[in-house]
Structures are given as structure tokens and as C-alpha cells.
Amino acid sequence: MIWEQLFRINGGAILFLKPPNTRININLPMLGTFATEIQPNKGIESDIPLSRTVADVVTGVDVVLKKALEVIGKE
């Protein structure tokens, strides 16, 4: 599997607000849950780890697709 590492967020009750006459969405956590022991702060690890750079985001480069094509020999 190929993807960029994602980090886990513990969700609770979240208030979603959209002020009138705007395109702004505000998400406010209303309830938090906290582990009593130290927990790893990561999701499922990729077989082929990737990370995006600022330049990738600015230029619209899809690093996951680029790597997948490289792995299957299409690039």
C-alpha cells in the first residue's frame, strides 16, 4: 500500500458552524477524550511511506499517484 502517513485524531462532540453570508466553516471540539497511557500518534503505516513537500502542494503534484506509477513501472 502506498499513501502519505495520516495521524489519528480522537473525535468527540464537534460543533460545526457556518456563519451566514460566508464560505467559512468552523469546527469546534466540544468534548475531548484523553488516554490514561501514552499512545502512538499515528495511523496505519504505508508499505511505501511518502511525504509531500510544499512545492508538491503548490504545483499540484500527486506524490501517491507518481509513486504508484513508478512502482508498477509505468513511469
Taking alpha carbons only, the member of 48, 51, 47, 37 closest to residue 7 is 51
**pLDDT at residue 32 tops 70:** no
pLDDT score of 59? 92
Q: Which helix (H) or strand (E) holds 50?
A: strand 48-50
**pLDDT at residue 4 tops 70:** no
Report the predicted TM-score, pTM, of the whole model to 2 decimal places.
Answer: 0.45
pLDDT (mean) for 13-38:
80
